[in-house]
Amino acid sequence: MNIIETIQKRHSVRTYTGEPLRQEHTAQIKQYINQLQVPFGKKARIEWVGVNTGEKPIKPGTYGFIKGASAYLALIYEEDDFAATAAAYMFEQVILFCTNLGLGTCWLGGSFSRNDFKKQIKPNADEILKIVSPVGYPSDKKRWLEKILNTDRKHISRKPFEELFFDKDFDHPLSETQAGIFLTPLKMVRLAPSANNKQEWRAVIEDKTLHFYKKPFLKFDSIDIGIALCHFELTCKELGIEGQFEKMQNHPANDSVEYVISWIQK
């Protein structure tokens, strides 16, 4: 899988053909999920929810946002702020894998009925079901709702590079020419999906270290930063840029954002 091409290709799909996933696609996705490891030492899992499987087929409530999907992926994790970030990182890996197979997906946080999914998943008392995604074959016919919510033109709909990334502190916006070897990884962060496409995460370059932040107290802030971290690290790995995430005591501060983690180049 070419990560950069796949990130650029991924977009939200809300209308599907209704065709059940072919057996080879189902097997590939399940196999990929089984070999994934949750980052940052946290606990999370991804469950496969088939609409027409089991003794009692379900009709997941998505309030009209999704039509024609025959399968869903559900993200379950323990009630811990950084567990949500780690879980979202892992979930985006699966989303990209499905994209590479030519399948459609769509992150859903607030526009689905959790009770409908819990009938099949049955999460433990200490687990949260906060995210699901349909997975299936995109329909060529887009509904009026999908046209209204269309975010395919990602480069246009995203915030400017200089508004998201900074040089040494939050007083100096980072230009693309200043980003050096981190230009492409940061561009892929800019393309990361987020709740209502708000992109409420930021990064500061300081020497060979990148500090990542989120705007706190938002409903999906921990989820959104997890997706961004996934895009960044997977792109670095593809480009051969070695490094690792680490919590640091000293980092640039800003009252409008909350420090999450740093990535240190080796």
Annotate 99-119 with b (16+ C-beta within 10 A) or e (fewer). Answer: bbbebbbbbbeeebeeebbee
Question: Domains in the chain: how many in total?
Answer: 2
Q: Which of 114, 147, 180 is the last residue of a domain?
A: 147
With 60 as the cut, is the pLDDT of residue 153 above it? no
213-222 pLDDT, tens digit each:
999 888 899 9
Q: What is the pLDDT of residue 121?
A: 84
pLDDT for the residue 114: 80
The predicted pLDDT at position 51 comes to: 80
Higher-confidence position of 247 and 155: 247
Return all residues near 137 (Cβ < 8 A) that are at least 6 apart: 16, 17, 19, 21, 103, 104
The β-bridge partners of 204 are: 166, 211
Residue with tokens 């469950």: 47
- pLDDT above 80: residue 154: no
Strand 201-206: give its sheet, edge to edge: 165-167, 201-206, 209-214, 258-265, 243-246
Which domain does 193 fall in, by range? 154-265
Helix axis angle for 81-100 and 23-35, nearest 10°, is 140
Residues 94 and 9 reside in one and the same domain: yes
What global pTM score does this model have? 0.92
Please give the backbone phi and psi of residue 264, each rounded to the nearest 5 degrees, phi first: -110, 125
| Residue 122: alpha-carbon gap to chain centroid | 23
Q: Which pLDDT score is estimated for 158? A: 87
Q: What angle do CA 200, 246, 37 make, to 5 degrees?
A: 85
Instruction: Record the tokens describing residue 238, joined without a space.
Output: 């593809």
Together in a domain, 123 and 173: no
> Above 60 in pLDDT, residue 155?
no
pLDDT score, position 152:
47
Same-domain status, 183 and 133: no
Question: Across the strands, what pairs with 134?
Answer: 72
Instruction: Report how far residue 185's alpha carbon sits from residue 164's, in angstroms, rounded to the nearest whole number.
Output: 13
> What's the pLDDT tens digit per position in 56-112?
555 666 656 888 888 999 999 988 779 999 999 999 999 999 999 999 999 998 777
- Are residues 11 and 111 both part of a single domain? yes
Which residues face 265 on adjacent strands? Answer: 243
Q: Tell me which of 113, 129, 147 is where a domain ends.
A: 147
Question: Are 137 and 27 contained in the same domain?
Answer: yes
Could you tell me which residues are beta bridge partners of residue 105?
12, 135
Do 168 and 82 lie in one domain? The reply is no
Instruction: Identify the domain boundary among 84, 112, 147.
Output: 147
What percentage of the chain exceeds 70 in pLDDT? 89
